[in-house]
A = this chain, B = another copy of it.
């Protein structure tokens, strides 16, 4: 080691590349026995206030992220995602029927509910596990959370519109349309599949 500068550089590089904190002795051994105490002191001073700091813990030295930047190491990122239709339906069913088991949700939806669907609602914090139903199998039952009311701007679950309100709002219209299409309309009602007896009689 010719000059102090080179020694400082070598200590810096050695600690940077080290896989674990190193004692001054270990650093020295790594660098042909040079006395590294001055170099360490210089480095501490050099890195003070930077994004990275040289610190001594239990007589071992290592670089670490500056304490006031520790939040950079663990970031949270929020991805805004829209609830899928299946999840929205499930949420609605929980809200209207709580507490409900998964089997009940499926019965009401008339479709199987994927495991992930309820997970999403739990993750969103709108639905919680509200215990178990005391029936065979003791299924988990779900209910909405206070957070659900807050997010959707409801005072209480009683604010949810009733079925009649839904119909009045036209939200059940599609059903009526479907039924109307299925039913034969007035005139021809009963004209076609005649009981043979009656028709015979009539035509007579």
Contacts and interface: CB of A to CB of B under 8 A. Distances in A.
Interface residues of A, number: 28
A49 B17 contact: no
Contacts of A31: 72
Contacts of A72: 10, 13-14, 17, 30-31
Query: Copy number of this protein in the oligomer?
Result: 2
Contacts of A52: 12-13, 16
Interface string A1-38: 10110001111111011000000000000110000000
B17 A65 contact: yes
B1 A51 contact: no
A124 B13 CA distance: 25
B10 A49 contact: no
Given A30-B75, A31-B72, A13 B48 contact: no
B17 A50 contact: no
A73 interface: yes
A130 interface: no
Contacts of A50: 4, 9, 12
